[in-house]
Amino acid sequence: MSGMQPVRGTRDLIGDAFRRHHHVIETARHVTGLYGLEEWATPIFEATSVFARTLGDTSDVVTKEMYTFEDRGGDSVTLRPENTAGIVRALVSNGLAQQALPRKVFYAGPMFRYERPQKGRYRQFHQIGAEILGAAEPLADAEVIACGWQILQQLGIDDGVVLELNTLGDTPSRDAYRAALVEYFTAHRDQLSEDSQKRLEKNPLRILDSKDAGDKALVAEAPTIHQHLTPQAAEFHTAVKRHLDRFGVPYRDNPRIVRGLDYYSHTAFEFVTDRLGAQGTVMAGGRYDGLVQEMGGPATPCVGWAAGVDRLAELLEETPDPVRPVAVVPVSEAEEGPAVELLQMLRAAGVPAEIAYKGNLKKRMERANRVGSQAAIIIGESEVAEGVVVVRNLSDGTQERVGMPGLLPALAAAGVVDAMLEQMVEEMELAAEGDEFDEDESDEE
């Protein structure tokens, strides 16, 4: 290969890859809408302090993965490695934290991390995410998880994905747990990786998240938070699980799931799969009650998640069909005028249609086949004179001459309008999803 190449760890989304990606985002946009989330778009870069402050100076993201540079004015800016910090910054800088809460937010977009590229791990990747800003109740934790689960169901990938659930407790729980972890890992200090020896000083909880094989063996035997939970923290966790049962979301306890930063508390979770090799986490989140205050806003409890679009797209069983435009084919330049008129009429009626810009009849028909057209509408001199067109069904080669009233039926016969109908039915089914509910559950326990 020669010439310009994309930057290492970035890739182009074209054809199948784009449609899979787009389908994930559109499905998430639709489902989060059913849960009353509004979509926000924040800038792709922020002042470096937005991330340095929120992600903590010991996290991998901040120490190794950020794309940070000085702009021409000498300010340090960073391409966003994730979107929660940007959403919280937006909540605070737009004065929204003082207004009616909770705000329920959805986002989708590219993120940037300087990581070693491999399958399912890129330097520019894409996330969708949901944040409930300003809700302290366990129902919020359960509902935002249920929303994530419904996206996975709607994508048809829920049977290979498991929700792993944990709690980090409240501050007293975590302080007691941290002390227990420090004691345990200090006793095994020389077996820890170099990174985890540093974490032991600064943020021992993060050791639980280590990908180092030696660390993992130690972590397997480490104490869990459950002996250290305060009664209030234990009750919060129980309430989240009770609500998850009501939402019909299955889960598995995993005491190793952590979010290593101080402002995280209570619920921590990951949706994981064994279908993607080492990159098995598709969605991850938790409660972050301390973050808004950390960023200069009022105390505002929040919970949310982020999911990797690239990994979700990889899991899809089927690639969504491309649009198959009807080919409008003037036999010679003389029929280009009527052809353009017909094109615009079809498009106004919602029928995708396209035209080749040059070539004889044969060349234009070749193009129609190449772009997957189900039908071609051919217009020659005699057709213009008689006010008719020839509709050719490109799957079986049959054709008929029809006047304008016969056009849509002829396209339907070639499968064109059918495909449109199918898509409409699918959209209606999506819209109807939200109406189903179980009646057999009582709210009392």
Instruction: For residue 263, say whether it is annotated as part of any ligand binding site.
Output: yes
- The helix (run of H) or strand (run of E) holding residue 85 is helix 84-93
Closest by CA position to 240, among listed 133, 130, 140, 104: 140
83 is in an annotated binding site: yes
Question: Is the Cβ of residue 167 or residue 210 nearer to ligand ATP in the bound state?
Answer: 210
Q: How far is the CB of 65 from ligand ATP (least distance, A)?
A: 8
Q: Residue 310 or residue 383: which is nearer to ligand ATP going by CB?
A: 310
User: Has 121 been labeled as part of a binding site?
Assistant: no
DSSP bridge pairs for 302: 133
Q: What angle do CA 259, 265, 267 make, to 5 degrees?
A: 80
The residues facing 377 across adjacent strands are 328, 391
CB 265 within 8 A of CB 170: yes
Q: How far is the CB of 301 from ligand ATP (least distance, A)?
A: 20
- The residues, ordered by sequence, that sit 6+ positions from 26 with a Cβ below 8 Å of its Cβ are none
- To the nearest 10 degrees (0 to 180), the angle between helices 231-247 and 138-154 is 30
Beta strands 103-112 and 124-133 are antiparallel
CB nearer to ligand ATP: pick between 22 and 246: 22
Q: Which two tokens mark 130? A: 């949901």
Question: What one-letter code names the amino acid at 296?
Answer: G
> C-beta of 91: minimal distance to ligand ATP in Å?
19
Is the CB of 308 or the CB of 325 nearer to ligand ATP?
Answer: 308
| Nearest-angstrom CA–CA distance, 287 and 344 | 51
Tell me whether residue 284 or residue 411 sits nearer to ligand ATP (CB atom).
284
Closest approach of Cβ 49 to ligand ATP, in Å?
A: 19
* 444 in a known ligand binding site: no
Question: Does 82 belong to an annotated binding site?
Answer: yes
Cβ-closest residue to ligand ATP? 308
DSSP 25-75: HHHHHHHHHHTT-EE----SEEEHHHHHHHH-TTSHIIIII-EEEE-TTS-
Which CB, 7 or 100, lies closer to ligand ATP? 7
Q: Quick one: DSSP state of residue 278?
A: T
- Which residues are near ligand ATP by CB under 6 A? 82, 113, 115, 120-122, 125, 127, 279, 281-282, 284, 306-308, 310-311
- Please state the closest distance from residue 330 (CB atom) to ligand ATP, in A: 47
Closest approach of ligand ATP to the CB of residue 194, in Å:
19
Binding residues: 82-84, 113, 127, 131, 259, 263-264
Binding residues for L-histidine: 82-84, 113, 127, 131, 259, 263-264
